[in-house]
Amino acid sequence: MFEFRLAKDEIGVISLEKRARITGETSSNFRKWQDTVDLKSCSRVILDGTNIEFIDSMGIAALISIYKTIAAEGNDLVLVNLSEEIKKLLNTLRLDRLFIVKDCSVEEAVKNSC
């Protein structure tokens, strides 16, 4: 369900293979999945939210878990292509101070041009 690739050899890009809700069991799977990829060695990690249909508090907890892994190395978690509703949800929880939320494509975020 979750995909990981490296861009420019050092920027991690996480995406979802298909449209999905990050809730309940999927959130647990997301947290387990992150242990199978090497996020710590990435200079930055970009999460492509294109296929995130919906997220609840358990899904947000999974995002916080990923953030903590990346932030422990002093690096950023960048979220792109989120729906307006999900952006509002993150703002409500003031998580936009942890995550960098950008309105641009993955390619632009990789180039750091947005």
Partner 1 sequence: MGEKNYSFMIEPNLGKIDAFSAKVSDIVRKNMGNENGFRAGLIVIEACSNIVKHGELDEEDRISVDLTIGEDRVTITIEDTSKEFNPLEVDEPDLEDIELLQKGGMGVYLIRRFSRGIEYSYEDGKNILRITI
The piece of 4-12, 37-45, 60-68, 103-111 that touches partner 1 (CB under 8 A) is 60-68
Using rule CB under 8 A, residue 84 touches partner 1: yes
Dihedrals phi, psi of 67, to nearest 5 degrees: -55, -45
At closest approach, how far in Å is the CB of 44 from partner 1? 19
Using rule CB under 8 A, residue 40 touches partner 1: no
Among 4, 33, 51, 64, which residue interacts with partner 1 (rule: CB under 8 A)? 64
In this structure, which amino acid lies at residue 28? Answer: S
In this structure, which amino acid lies at residue 96? Answer: D
- Residue 9 CA to residue 23 CA, distance in Å, equals 31
What is the DSSP secondary structure assignment for residue 43, as one 8-state letter?
A: S
Closer residue to partner 1, CB minimum distance, 4 or 54: 54
Closer residue to partner 1, CB minimum distance, 101 or 110: 101
Binding site for partner 1 (CB under 8 A): 21, 23-25, 54, 56-58, 60-61, 64-65, 67-68, 83-85, 89, 92-95, 98
